Structure formats: structure tokens, C-alpha cells
Chains A and B, each alone.
Chain A
Amino acid sequence: MLYAGAGLAVVAVACLWLFGPVDASSIAMALRFTVPIGFAALGGIFSEKAGIINIGLEGLLIIGAFSAVASMYALSLTPIGANVWLAFGFAIVASAVVALLFAIACIEFKADQVIAGLAVWLIALGFAPFASTIVWGQVNSPSVDGFSKWAIPGLADLPVFGDIFVMRPPVMLLIVAGPLTWYVLNRTRFGLWIEASGEDPKALDTAGVDVQLVRYVGTVLSGVYCGIGGAALALRVGQFTGGGETMVNGRGFIGLTAYLIGNYNPIGAFFASFLFGGLEVIQLSIQRTSDIGIPTRLVGVLPYVIVLVVLVFVGKTQMPSSAGDHYESDD
């Protein structure tokens, strides 16, 4: 899987190179674009491995993005003033709360996970522009301050590649989150519980661990991750735009595909997300160089087409065998 992931990264960089110079700034840009997709993918792994298929990642990203900007705006009206980190925190809490509600629906009320996840998406898709209109009088927010870039001491001064290491905090978080998620899932007791909760809940129950609790934690973690991803997206752009499919624009579903490509391995999912981040850069650079003669609007569908192609070839994934099932303890 690691090889596959590394392969994907090579493919992404190769594609970048085909359509423009691969320099530090284009790689840095690809990393920035990877953030929302990557966090959605890593979060989705927690949830699905625990046995709750979370198709509502897209909705959670939307909630994260909206809440971040709304918090910035609300804070600016208080004596505290607009604080990016506070807004970031509020967005994570908001997304986690929605994920908790989704978990309650799935676990307590035995909801069909796919339909309930769909509902989470559709509710968020309606709620965010609704709330934007209530607050700002239109579906788009005014612009707010976002994260400023940090230079990693030492690395940022490197020749040629130095620019990669000047990044906004969410990008650093993602780079840490990939390996950390892998470590938690593969090297800790909690990771074993998550795995067992999705693969063999009965055995986990027999071992005295509360399966439902593990599933709650897994699903809420997906909310935390999506909160980070959505907030990072909105605070990078410095605005929430709620028209059409909102500014999230399918990134949650792309994240879902990314972890399928990565076959539930966080490192694989990270590289697959990076592939999609790279595609966004390619798309932008094609749009900028109009002489290639490809209409910009059609270039925009590239990531979605790749998702389709990937799904055809990765149709059979090693889905956790009890994911999607309700579990009821016998006692």
C-alpha cells in the first residue's frame, strides 16, 4: 500500500511537470489544495473502520467551512475580536457536533447509514446558504482574515525547495495527521478497537469493550477531521461561498474516493488526496495558459473524471466486513 501511495505521489508530480514547471510553489499549492480532501479522507477512515459508513463527509466539510467564517465574523463583533484559532476551534466543534448527531441517528436509532449520510449532506447544503443569507443577506460571506503563513525554521531557507516549507498551519497539521492517524490505527490499542468494531464487533464485545462507544468516537473523529478540513478551506480562501454546491464543491466525496484508493490506509489516503490536490493545480495552470486550447470549464471536471476512472478500477475494496451493520450486544 505504501508503494501504491508513493506511486500515486510520483504520478501527481509527473502530471504537474507535464503541465507546467514543478517548482516549490506548485508543490506547496498542491499541498494546500490537499488539505480539505485529505482531512475528509482521514476522518472517513476512522468512521468507516469503526463500522459507520460516513457518506456525509461533504456535509461536514460544508459545516466546517461555514462555521469558521461565521465565527470569524461573529468574533469580530465582540470585544475579543476576530481570532483565527478560536474560529478554527468553533468550526471543529460544530462539525463534530453534527457528526455526533449523525452517529446518534445511526447507532441509537439504527438509521440506514447511506441515506442518513446523504441527509447530512443535503441538510448542510441547505443550511449553510440559509444561515449565510440570515447573517449576511446573501449566500456569500464578506471576506474575513485567514491563517497567515509560517516558515519552518531551517527548512524554509533551503535553496529551490524552501518555499514548500512556508505554509499555513492547517497544511502542517495535515502532514502530521497522515502518519499520526496511521500510528493510532495500527499501533495503539484504540486502533485495534476501531478495527475490531468494524470487522468483528462481536469479538470486541466479548473482550469487554463497548462497541457502540468505539463507533461513536470513530464517527465524531470524522467530524473533527472534517471540521479542520472545511475550516482550513474557508480560512485559506478568506470567505464562505454558498452558491450551487457551495465552496466545498464535492471535495468530501473526493476524499471518500481517496480513502477507497488508499484502501483504508491513512498513508495511502494521504497520497491519493495529494493526487487530487495536484490535479487542482494542473487545472489552474491549464486555465491560466489558454494557448493549450482546452476550454477551462471542461478542464474543471478533471478530478471528477479521475474519481470515476478510479472507482471502476478499485470497485472491489476491502471494506470492513461489518461496516454499515447495526450491532446489538446480546446481554
Chain B
Amino acid sequence: MSGLRDRLAGTLDRLVDASPLERLLISVASLVFALVLGAVLIFVSGFVATCNSPVVFIPGVGYGCYNPIEVYSTMLQGAFGSPISLGQTLQETTLLLFTGLSVAVAFRAGLFNIGTQGQMVLGALATAVTVLWLGPFVPNNAIGTIVVIPAGIAAGAVVGGFWGMIPGVMKAYADAHEVITTIMLNFIATAIAFYLVNNHVGDPSSDSVLTETIPAVAQFPAAIDGSRFSFFALGAGLLVAIGITLLYTQTVIGYELRTSGIQETAAEYSGVNAERNIVTSMTLSGALGGVAGAMYVMMAQYRWQTGIPSLGFDGIAVSILAGNNPIGIIPTSLLFGTLKSGSLAINLSLGVPTELVEVIQGLIILFIAMPEFFRLIGKRSGFGSDTPATSGGEQA
């Protein structure tokens, strides 16, 4: 499969090295197209759904329940309309920041980490178990928090990193395609976590599969009444985004991680150990997924509970829309945080299923995967003639 790898590298080259302006245009255009298609889906499905107060009637077709503009504006309202909803949005943003960075770190090394979800699920469990165990040993005050929260993050990072390392090793030394291995490892992670909580570390007094609530010292201090969002967690995410940027631009290790991903052969000529770099990148990516799990436990849920939301998959869209640029992930995670938090509102007040957001995310990924689509549209409508920045990467 080394052919596949070279080709992937070619694609990633194009995605990463297209001129920044072009990348931005493609991202914005993808977003717009996905939202428009989403609107069409909303409108059409409104004719299938049943409701008490239809918004439109088309003779011969029937009553439509949903007005896409109303749906999108309700979404915005639901994401920013009150302090509590703002807190919800920023909480989602923080979690997506970490899962997005996790996907991006792998992507920058030429690897698709679809396994952020599993790394997050196991990382979250490690965090919950660690802080539950550590809680009784520390004073119930700020000092306790300073000890417990970092320990919880470390536990999540270590376990998530280990779970990311496995597909890394399989890729580096056995050439097993990481897309399939990481997806399989997601299934396995969910089952292991379920088993451990159900049979060993769960709350025995509950019928559901969950751990006990983590001690107060392990909970991120909430910034907004009625919401669990914490500026500390968001701040940590922003720092990590900046840190990863610095790692890639300012350090030798970062440079090696990037080159071995994009140009395997070239990297090897210059004495870079490609195998080790693959493992390192996947481990780092997994660790970030684990930290996302830690944040989920210590900021959002206050316990591990079965049915962890698919933040890891969301991270793929977050990262790809940002062109896998760690700083670009800051606005895209805010964007998807808005969509996710707003999706609760459209479900509650209009009855539109929350899965709408997943469809829109998938569409965004699809559009980003085909920049040629926008170039053709651009040419037909007379905007921007041939863009020289991209003509080089075509022949993979």
C-alpha cells in the first residue's frame, strides 16, 4: 500500500500547501454549499414530517413543516441567545477544539486518524477513574483542584495516546491502513469501556452504565451560572492550539513530523526515521483525543457514562474545514460548537432532528475533498481564471 501512501501524500500536499487564500475560499464555499444543501434537506423533510402548524402549503405536494431560514435562525438563537446557551456553545467549542486538534496532528503527518472517538472514550474513562480514586486523598479546595485536574488530564492523555499508538505502530511496521484500523479500534474501545464500567469500575448502585459523579475538586470551575463551561478548559485548548503551531513551525521535531508525513522518501534521505514519526504523530493525536475525553468528564458530564457523543467524528470536519491548521481550528470549532449547541434548540422548539448537523458536517467534508468542483464553478461563472497555485499538484 505504499502507492496509496504516496498518493495520499500528494492529496495532503494539495490540501495543506494550496495558497492560504484559496484554502480559505474553498472552506467558506464548502460551508456555504453544505448549509444550502442542509436547507434543502430541511425543507424537503418538512413535507414528510408531521406537525401541528405547517409553515408552507404546496398544492399537490402537501404541507411543509419546516422553514429552513427559521431553522437556521433558531439555531443561532439557541447557540447565543442566553448566557446558558452561550455556555453550552463554548463548552462544545472547547471539546471540539481538542478533537479537531487530535485529527489535525495526524493529518499533518499524512495520516487519517478516524480513531479520535475511541481515544476519547477510553481517555475519558481513565480520567474518571483517576479522579475518583484521587479525590479522597486531596483537600477539598483550590489546592486539591490544582492536583486533581492535571492528574485527570494526564491520565486521559496517556490512555488516549496509547490507544492512538496502536494504529500508529500497525501503520508504521505492518502497513495496515489506519483508516480501517482506527475505525475498528473505535468499536473495540467502546466495548472495553462499557465492559469495565459495567463490571468493574461503575457505580454499583445504578442500573445504567456509568461511574459515580466525580468529586467537586475534579470539576472545572464553571464560568456561567446554569452551565458547566469553564474558561480554564477553553484557555487550555487555545494554548494547545498555539503550542502545536509552534511545535510545527519552530522545532526540529515538528518539522520532521510534517515532512515524514508529506514526503516520506525525502524525509528518509535526510535521516528522518519515518516509522518512528508515524508512531509519534499517532500517539500525540491519540493523546489529544484522550484530553478531549478528560475535558468531557471534568467539564461536561462530571462522570463517565455510556453513549459518549460523537465528538471524535465531529473533529474530522473541524480539522478538515480548517485545512488542518491548528490556529484555523479555533474558528471552525466555534462554528461547529454553534451548530451542535443550536441543534438542541431546533430539536426542542421546531422538532428538527439533531442529526441534521452530522449531515451538514459530512457534506462539508465531501465538498472540501473536491476543490476541483469549486474551480469548475469559478471558471464557468467567470471568477478567478486558472489558479496557478494548484496546477502543480494534480499529477500524483
Contact = CB atoms under 8 A, between A and B. Distances in A.
B114 interface: yes
Contacts of B177: 311
B3 interface: yes
B370 A109 contact: yes
Contacts of B199: 295
B359 A116 contact: no
B191 interface: yes
Given A133-B355, A321-B3, A118 B187 contact: no
B174 A315 contact: yes
B45 A307 contact: no
A55 B355 CA distance: 22
B184 A253 contact: yes
B176 A126 contact: no
Given A105-B369, A116-B366, A295-B195, A127 B1 contact: no
A95 B394 CA distance: 30
B363 A109 contact: no
Nearest to B313: A122
A4 B191 CA distance: 31
A208 B236 CA distance: 60
B7 A324 contact: yes
A105 B370 contact: yes
B180 interface: yes
Nearest to A242: B355
A119 B7 CA distance: 19
Contacts of A305: 184, 188
Interface string A300-331: 11001101100111011101010111100000
B365 interface: yes
A80 interface: no
B112 A122 contact: no
A112 B183 contact: no
B369 A131 contact: no
A118 B114 contact: yes
Interface in B161-206: 170, 174-177, 179-181, 183-185, 187-188, 191-192, 194-195, 198-199
A62 to B, nearest CB: 12
Contact of B187 (A124, A133, A304, A323): A304
A277 interface: no
B176 A119 contact: no
Contacts of B313: 122, 125
Given A133-B355, A134-B49, A316-B175, 11 more contacts: A109-B373, A120-B366, A125-B362, A129-B353, A130-B358, A130-B359, A250-B187, A301-B188, A304-B185, A308-B181, A325-B396
30 contacts: A105-B369, A110-B372, A111-B369, A119-B365, A120-B362, A120-B366, A122-B313, A122-B317, A122-B362, A126-B362, A127-B355, A127-B362, A129-B353, A130-B356, A133-B353, A134-B49, A135-B48, A135-B49, A249-B187, A253-B183, A301-B188, A304-B188, A305-B188, A307-B184, A308-B170, A308-B176, A311-B176, A324-B3, A325-B7, A325-B396
7 A-B pairs with the lowest CB-CB distances in the bound complex, closest first: A126-B358, A123-B362, A111-B370, A119-B366, A315-B175, A122-B362, A133-B353
